[in-house]
Chains A and B, each alone.
Chain A
Amino acid sequence: MADVFTTIYDWLTGLLAGWGASQLVIDLVMGLLGSIITVVYLLTLALVIIWVERKFIGRVQDRIGPNRVGPWGIFQNIADVVKLLFKEIIIPKGADLIPFMLAPAITVASVFLIWAAIPYARTLIGTDVNIGVLYLVAVSSLGVMAILMAGWSSNNKYALLGAFRAVAMLVSYEVPMILALLVPVILSGTLRVNGIVEGQGVWYVFSMPLAALIFYIAQVAEVGRSPFDVLEAESEIVAGFHTEYSGMAFAMFYLAEFLHAFTISAMTATLFFGGWRGPFAQQYPTLGIVYFFIKTFLLYMLNVWGRATLPRLRIDQIMSFCWKFLTPLALVLLVLSTLVDKVASILLEDVVPNYYAAGSLVEMLPRSAVLLSVNLLVGLLAVVWIARQGRKERQRLAALTSPAPIERQAAR
């Protein structure tokens, strides 16, 4: 029972070989099986996490959440799906049919494709491409084109405007995301996702917490969840780029958004929180999948917590936050931490024999301590800088809105 996955895989391939299948057919069948299992379990998981989210948000907002359909409302999502299945897909007049129909499919596909490269356990991964991290980023950027297609083919001004805003936001937040993504790659020295997980003797969130935070915030903006959900903004721009979608096509966008939020939690867990690592996960790979899902769920609940409590940001606030704060911060962090890392490795050459060790807890402590101190320093500077900016802004606003000219003179 230590390694369930390899056992099942060997048994299945043995079965197929016993039936006289060539190696090619075996590879094809196993790959197909893996894809089908992934898609099925993700779709089922979507039902569960949407229920969890609605109950959680309900409790945070001092109400119960769905509780009519089934005990504690657990069949609410099935009822929703059935309703959306039977709803008519209204195609607006003058809409471009092929991009209109393709856009939801491409959005969902770009989310599912990410799961092909995420390791669930030491021996369970879809495909361990040696460009793993680059593949994750490339596939995430497919969704941008789909949003543009959806917004334009709806033949609707508001949809187009919403699509432009969405694309501007998504493309902008890719920059700090990739800069923060470089950190696990630098620390583990490989682009392979399983290699990054195996190199986390000390979880990267403990040695570079600021990078993890930047990555998580940028990813939440990439999905378009609160507080960055100006993409759909149910109270503002009608429904953004998917205004004209109804029925199953809308269900695809809805599904893609929740799944994407879960997927980014999985990515953060893999890259910064050690993925499948935990006590005894190396010897018993079956435990790895348990740890992986626990971490992913916790990060997802963090996201839901943010959605339940934080107000929505305006698009100009979002853009200035990205370009004037996150990107310079990520750049400074990257440059400073690699510089200090190199200097420390030279200075500590006599004291610490194996500075660049990766994989075991004790060996990685010196490097983690150095990087942690750099992170805390940069974080402190960033907080101080934000506080000063905030104070200046408050003073400016107070000076503008003070009641009488005499007070205004005194304040200046």
Chain B
Amino acid sequence: MTITPVTIAFAIMAIFALGGGLGVVANRNLVHAALFLVLSLFGIAGLFVLLEAPFLAAVQVLVYVGAISVLITITIMVTRRIMGITETINRQWPVAAIAAALTLVTLGFVILSQFSGQMPVADVPPDTIARMGAAFASHQGYMLPFEVASVLLLAALIGAIVVARD
């Protein structure tokens, strides 16, 4: 297998993503866990760039790193308990570990048996973003899901404000 720059970039981004995920799950200090989540999200944005979906990479940084991570970090800082660091793993962690391991084995088996060595079928057309924009506004496209998602976001906005008020 040849080591091209794309391979190196993929390795770095994958290490960010998986390492950040490990940090989220295993860190006792919650704010550190949130920072590891930011690292993981950056790695995933890098993976999107490698997958030739720059629009999604920019949206990932804008929405996840710029907004959701900030929300999570503020919530952690507001709901901090002053009385020492309690246990971060609950009593059923062996069951959780077994379930996770089984899921990983199953997924790995399916992936390696079905898609091992699959290469891209074709090239990405250059005007993907324009076509996506047109698709979001056409009847035969995705206009209805777009409007429904807007209503969902509106409901979430109002709901969050109402629930979090005094």
Interface set of A (CB-CB < 8 Å, partner B): 24, 96, 98-99, 129-131, 134-135, 137-139, 141-142, 144-145, 148-149, 152, 160, 164, 167, 171, 174, 191
Contact = CB atoms under 8 A, between A and B. Distances in A.
A142 B58 contact: no
Contacts of A142: 61, 65-66
B59 interface: yes
Given A99-B35, A152-B31, A141 B61 contact: yes
Interface string B32-54: 10010010000000000000001
B67 interface: yes
A171 B77 contact: no
B61 A167 contact: no
B149 interface: no
A149 B74 CA distance: 10
Given A131-B55, A152-B77, A171-B70, A141 B62 contact: yes
B31 A96 contact: yes
B66 A141 contact: yes
Given A141-B65, A148-B70, 5 more contacts: A130-B129, A134-B62, A142-B66, A148-B77, A164-B74
B70 A145 contact: yes
Interface residues of B, number: 20
B5 interface: yes
A148 B54 CA distance: 27
Contacts of B65: 141-142, 145
A134 B55 contact: yes
B74 A167 contact: yes
B64 to A, nearest CB: 10
Interface in B62-78: 62, 65-67, 69-70, 73-74, 77
A171 B69 CA distance: 12
A241 B18 CA distance: 31
A130 B35 CA distance: 30
20 contacts: A96-B32, A98-B35, A129-B54, A131-B54, A131-B129, A135-B54, A137-B58, A138-B61, A141-B67, A144-B66, A144-B70, A145-B70, A148-B70, A148-B73, A148-B74, A148-B77, A149-B35, A164-B74, A167-B74, A171-B67
Contacts of B73: 145, 148, 152
Dominant secondary structure of chain A at its interface with chain B: helix
Contacts of A24: 5
Given A131-B58, A134-B62, A139-B61, A167 B129 contact: no
Contacts of B61: 138-139, 141-142
A24 B7 CA distance: 14
Contacts of B66: 138, 141-142, 144-145, 174
Contacts of B31: 96, 99, 152
A113 B143 CA distance: 34
Contacts of A171: 67, 70
A24 B67 CA distance: 36
Contacts of A98: 35
A171 B70 CA distance: 9
A81 B59 CA distance: 37
B85 to A, nearest CB: 14
A142 B42 CA distance: 11
A131 B38 CA distance: 22
Contacts of A129: 54
A160 B31 CA distance: 13
Nearest to A24: B5
Contacts of A131: 54-55, 58, 129
Contacts of B5: 24
A134 B59 contact: yes
A142 B65 CA distance: 7
A167 B35 CA distance: 16
A148 B66 CA distance: 11
Nearest to A168: B74
A139 B54 CA distance: 13
A174 B129 CA distance: 23
Given A141-B65, A149-B35, A191-B129, A134 B74 contact: no
Contacts of A152: 31, 73, 77
A130 B74 contact: no
Contacts of A135: 54, 58
Nearest to A27: B5
Contacts of A191: 129
A138 B62 contact: yes
B82 to A, nearest CB: 13
Contacts of B74: 148, 164, 167
* 7 interchain residue pairs of minimum CB distance: A141-B66, A138-B61, A138-B62, A134-B58, A138-B58, A131-B54, A131-B58
A60 B65 CA distance: 40
Contacts of A160: 77
